[in-house]
Each structure stands twice: as C-alpha cells, then as structure tokens.
Chain A
Amino acid sequence: MYNLVEVEKLGKPAVALCNVGFAADARSAAMVKGYPALRVVLERVPCEATDGESIERGVVEAIGEVIRALTVPLQEEEWEEAVGRMAAWRPGEARGVVYRGNYEEVNRYFYRMGWTDGLPIVPPTPRAVEEMLRGTDLEPDHVVAHLPPRMGKATVEKIAVNAVMAGALPTHLPVIIAAVEALVDPSAWYGTYQVSTGSWAPFVVVNGPVRRDVGLNCSSGALSPGNMANAAIGRAIRLVDRNIGGVRPGIEDMGVFGNPGKYTLVLGENEEESPWEPLHVEQGFGREESAVSVFFPNTYVQAVAMGTDPESLVLTLARNVPAGKRNALTAILMIPDHARILAQAGWSKQEVVRRVVEVARIPRYRSPYMPPERAEGLSPRELPQREEDWMPAWTDPAQIRLVVTGGPGSFMALWISSGLMPARWVTKRVRLPKAWGRLVVRYRGIVPRHTG
C-alpha cells in the first residue's frame, strides 16, 4: 500500500486491487500515510492461488470497479467518509487520568478499548507508573522510538505505563526499553514482521549481569510460564506494540494463525554454565555489559538428540530443519551439557554453527518462496531421491546464533524465522539507572518459592 500512496503523492491515480481479507489492513496502511481515500477495490481470489479458474473469476468480478476507481473523480461524500474514518481511528495522546473505577471496571474498560492482551492487567495508576520510572534515569518524556505502523511516540512514560499493565517490576524497565530500541532498528524489520501473515513473534535473549539482577530464568523451562521477569518483560513488549505501535489483531496484525509467543518469548542465556562467549559478546558487546538481542521467528522445533557425541548433536540440529525454511534467521537453543560436549571436542560456537550449515539440507521442492531455484523445484508429491534434489538449508552461518539455555534433559531446539527479509539479529545495550543497586535490593526478594 505504501508504494501506491507514493503514486498518489506523485499526482497519478492509484488503485489497490486487494484481497477481501486485507481490506481493513489496506485502509489502515493508507491512513498511516495520510491518504485515507486511496481507492481499494476488493477481489476474492484465494490468497496465493495457484489455479487459473479462481484467479479468472476474481479478476473478472473486480475489473469494473478497477476501471471506475481510475476514472470517476473523488466524490464529496467519499472524501468526507474517508476523513471521518481517519479522525475516528487516530488516537490522541491521552494525558493524565483517563479512567476511574474499581479493579474489575478498569480491566473491563481497558479490555473493551483493545488495550490488553486478553488477560487482566495491573491498573496503571500514576503512583505505580512513578515507581516504575525508578527503573531508568531517562526523562519520562524522552522519546525512545516512533513505533510503526501508527508511528506512535514511545516515550519512557508510555513504555512505563504498559510495563505496569504487564505486571513488570521497575527493575524490568531498562530491559524493556532496550528491547523497544532493538525492535525499531531497521535491521530487525519489525515494521514488516509485526503485521505479517507469518505470525512472527519477537524472540528476546537477555545477556549480562542484568539477567541475575532481575531474576530471569536462564535454565530449566526458561520459556515456560511461572517466572515474573520472563513473563512480564515479554508481555510489556507486546502491550507496547499494541498500544504505542497501534497493531490491532486482524487489522494491522494479519498473522494467519497468530503465535502464542506474542504473549511473551523472553529468556536469558545461561552464561555461567556455558563454555562459550555469550551472545551479546558475539554481537560486539563487553561481557560485563548487559544487552538484549531480538529477532522474529514463527517456528519452534524441539528434538531429542540422536546421540551425545559431537557429530550426533550437529546432525540432530541439521536434520530437524523444516523443509519450508530456507536461509532463515535462526536461534539454536542448546543445553549446557550439550554445549560442554561440543566445547570439549574443541569446537567454538561458530564452529558448531558452521558444521550445522555444512550438513543441513532441505528438499528442493517447488515453492514460490525458495529463490533462485523456484522454477526448477521438485514436486512435493515425491520424496527427493537424488543428491542434487537437496539444497543447503542455510548459505550463511551469520544467520544463526547459538544460545546456551534450558535445563537438564536431552532436547535440542531451533527457533526459526524467515529468509524472505534481509533481517539480522539486533542487540542493544541495557542502560541501568545510577541507583540500580538499591533498586535491585528492593525487588530482588520477589521470587517464586514453588513450595505449594
């Protein structure tokens, strides 16, 4: 849509021939760019149809409207309706208290406004937000970023409001702010992944001393519910995405199935039990710094190791890449026991990744998303029999990062993104307030005992 807006800006008529399921998304995109009346003609061709009959039927039905959209001048009522729609949609910055009520009433109000993730929130009272702001030395009106698609202004205060709602502690705030900075780095391709049909979720790895300061789970069940830091930091990121970026499910966020990782997908690297340098050091930061790394996967694969010798561990990872994933940004999650076995073989993190890349193959099935082999692909009706019918799953080891985390057991795991975007892992430093030590002491005792 943005490219069609560019056509209008150049003074030429543009028409979006739009799949009917994407009508609200298309209109939202046009409004973001200030062209609410950009003409959208709806067609009913099934998404990514491969049969000529449905394409023929859909286009023939729509062509009259396309011609009309290019030839009939903008009507007064059409313009008024478009401007009204934009005015109704555009949220002003609500300052001060916006609602008064008891716990239940506040939650129902926020839920009806679409400001939650479906679960009850902690009411963001001025006092709670003030306490949250102790987690940073940045001024409350400091603008951390403008978040797409609505280009909402992510001030420190607005991030803090969403952090309170998520149930975060003030010690979590600097991690959340760093994550927001990582999201908007152009290399992350946040603006595309947050709205895509692919249901990509921000995967957040926290490194450095801050992990232990805030009680992040870096070991057994790091991605499971039950730990406040892992749960609340990711939840806050999602609420920021919704309330500041303006991403609404089924309107801007067109994820086909959605992704439970959008509730939270945050873990720490188990640096203490890893034989290798941590992720943030690989990304150019000092070991004593704290940092947040982000990318957008939509696929999670877990597999039991085929054996505990180094070759079997590499083969387990290489043989469990889904056939539809090609050159995708990836996180390998590895338990400390497996990492030690590989390190004892003399392999660095990078050497392990290089060996996985060397071995991993996927079928050269015909797929529109597997350039440049798309034209010569095999039919997925057949299992490939010949060596040349397989192709490397990755061509560049830089697309993969290995993170040591998780607990006892024998499972290996892959979080896999897409090869369609030129995205990269993005890492940002966590900036702690001067009074960090006191803040940590104040909140460190809030940990689950799991005695019940």
Chain B
Amino acid sequence: MMKPILFVSAFALLTSAAVAHHGWGSYGAHNPITVAGPIATSKFENPHATITVQASDKIWTVTLAPTSRMNSRGATEKVVAIGQNVSAYGYPSTVQKDEMRAERITVDGKTYEMR
C-alpha cells in the first residue's frame, strides 16, 4: 500500500507548485535600471499591461502589471496613456532586448507599485 500513497503525494506536490505565481526569473534583479520619457504606445491588456517609452537613447518596452492590479493601485489606463511622461524603475529582461519589467512607475509625481 506504500506505493500508491507515494505516487499520490508526489502528484499533489507537483500540482500544488502550479498555483504559485509567475516568476521574475528572466529579469536581471541584480541590475535595476530607470527608464524615463514619454509613453509612445500603451496596451492596457492582460496578462500584463505594456507600454513603450521613448527614452533618451532608445525605445524601451516596459512590462507592467495585470490590468486588475493596475486599476486597484490607481495606475489606470489614463495614467499610462500615450504621451504621459513616465519614469519606470525595474529590471531589464535577460531574454528580450530593450524590454524591462517595472517594479514601480512614477507619473505626474505619483508612484505606483507594480508588484
């Protein structure tokens, strides 16, 4: 009878891991950057809102939070609309060039946490 119990508990363990949240594994947490400039494009969509920011050197794609969290933090569609000046603090992607994931963004002197 030991064998089935082992199998069932192994199964339960592995599937419970599936409930954990997305990781930040593919972002360089040791190397935080700040990207600032006007918002060039804005997608207020799931699974994550994304904006592109015209920084001084290049255009960055900035990954934000799911739309429900954006709204509950006050970072509504209007706050991250095209043309708004944003400063995004976060971590550059180690996979995709010129993409970063924001830990927090500041618009009009107000800071919104993304995590």
**A and B bound?**
no
